[in-house]
Amino acid sequence: MSDLQTFKIASIPGDGIGTEITEAAIQVLDKLASVDGSFNFDYTHFDWSSKAYLERGWYMPPDGMEQLQKHDAIYFGAVGWPGTTP
C-alpha cells in the first residue's frame, strides 16, 4: 500500500501559447512530483478552446462546471483565436 497522494488536475490548455505553456507546466509539475516522491498528478485534458468553439459552437458543455468540480485544481492556459467572438 502506498502513501502517495494523487491530485486530480483539470487541464484546459486553450489556444495558441496556452497549449505550449500548459504542456511545459505539466512537465514541471510531474518532475516536482517525482523528486518529492510523496504525491503525483492525474490530469484530465479538456479541449475547451476558441478553435474548438468555431468548430462546434460552444466552449464548454452544459455540464462543464460539474466536470471541473471533480478535480482538486484547474490549470488554465490561454484562450483566444483570431476571428472568434462568441
Over the chain (86 residues), the average pLDDT of each successive run of 10 is 88 90 96 97 95 90 96 91 63
Look up the domain containing 23 and give its range.
Answer: 5-78
Look at residue 29 and tell me if it is in a domain: yes
**Residue 10, pLDDT score:** 98
Is residue 31 domain-resident? yes
Are 52 and 12 spatial neighbours (Cβ–Cβ below 8 Å)? no
pLDDT of residue 38: 97
When divided into structural domains, the chain yields a total of 1
CB burial of residue 48 (10 Å; 0-12, 13-18, 19+):
buried
Residues in Cβ contact with 19 at an 8 Å cutoff, skipping those fewer than 6 apart:
13, 77
